[in-house]
Amino acid sequence: MLTGDVVWHVPGRNPIAGDHTGIDAVMDYFERRRALARATFRVNVREVMSAGDLVIQLAGGTAELGGREVAWETVGIFIVRDGKLAEGRLVPFDQYLFDAVWSAD
C-alpha cells in the first residue's frame, strides 16, 4: 500500500514527530506509535475527500497513553501514486495537545 519512496510527515516535538522516509522508516514509525500506545491507538474517520491524487481525511484519534485515555483531532493529507500512498502529512487541530498526548509517560 506504500510506494518505495513514501514519506510520512508528523509535526511537533514528541516521540513520533519527524519526516519518515521510505517503507522501512514509515513502518518503524507505525510500530513505534503502536508500542507507545500499547496497541490501543484507534483512528475514527469522520470524512474523506479526494481530488485526483490528493486525499484529505478528517479524523479523530484515541489511545491509552501514560495510563489514561486521550483523544485528539487531525487532518490527514495524502498523495496517492499508482494506487499506493506516496506521502502522508498529519495536521493536528491542536499541536500542543498532540505533543502532550504523544509525550505522556
pLDDT recorded at residue 20: 98
pLDDT at 101: 87
Find the angle CA(10)-CA(27)-CA(39) to the nearest 5 degrees.
85
Q: Which residues, given as ranges, of the chain have pLDDT below 50? A: none
Residue 82 maps to which CATH number? 3.10.450.50
Q: Is the pTM of this model over 0.85?
A: yes
Q: How many domains does the chain have?
A: 1
Domain with 33, as residue range(s), is 2-102
Residue in the block written with cell 521510505: 22
- The pLDDT assigned to 104 comes to 74
Q: What is the pLDDT of residue 43?
A: 95
Q: What is the pLDDT of residue 50?
A: 97
